[in-house]
Amino acid sequence: MPTLKQLRQRFYSILILWVCLCIPLSAEAEIFKYRGSNGGIHFTDKPMKGNYRLLWRSGKNRARNSNYSLERMRKNKAEVTPLIENIAKELHLHPGLLHAVVRVESAYNPKAISRKGAQGLMQLMPATANRYGVNDSYDPKQNLQGGAQYLRDLLKLFEFDIKLALAAYNAGENAVFKYGKKIPPYPETQNYVKKVLNEFERNRLAMLN
């Protein structure tokens, strides 16, 4: 006789299958599993604050992500490394920091685009791209130049506090000011800062060897 846990797992599997069948095949969609404060399990098509995880993705994003391999990422990294080094030198930034931002933002995919519309290697929003004279966000050189200039300006704005500059790069400078020049209490932004800093430290140590 099935246990209660097995019955729950079957129920969730059936529910997910039913939701998937109700979504048109041409649509881009995601399904998240979310545990509420009362311990109940909910399913939603948008990520929520708290304990959630992605269960399923359909559509163009799924196909695009599945076609982007580790081998492709390494090749792209090798291709853009000279650009990163030149731009970092020009703007007096550590190349390891630019590599870290690019790695976390796009995994070196110059054609990357987020659900919010951020584009290219450093995931520039259209308004930011326009602000820094980037006409084509999918052009690696233009994207890196604009993103690096934006990051440099954020470092100056926050008195070279790298954590605050990265938080502003992710959530916007107004969000950092809103919370008294502290990293906003957004899980995405806090995780972003940690990821970039960890990647930066790896790059910095690797360059010393």
Copy the structure tokens of residue 82: 């000279």
Catalytic residue from among 79, 90, 105, 201: 105
Reported as type and span, the H/E element at residue 56 is strand 51-58
Rounded to whole angstroms, the Cα distance separating 119 from 7 reads 43
Copy the structure tokens of residue 63: 């196909």
The runs of H, that is alpha helices, within 46-69 are 60-66
Judged by DSSP in three states, 3 sits in: coil
- Burial of residue 132 (CB within 10 Å: 0-12, 13-18, 19+) is middle
| Cβ proximity of 143 and 120 under 8 Å | yes
Half-sphere exposure of 34 (CA within 13 A, CB side): 14
Rounded to whole angstroms, the Cα distance separating 108 from 89 reads 19
Copy the structure tokens of residue 10: 């079957």
Instruction: Please tell me what DSSP assigns to residue 40.
Output: -
**Does 105 qualify as catalytic in the annotation?**
yes
Catalytic residues: 105
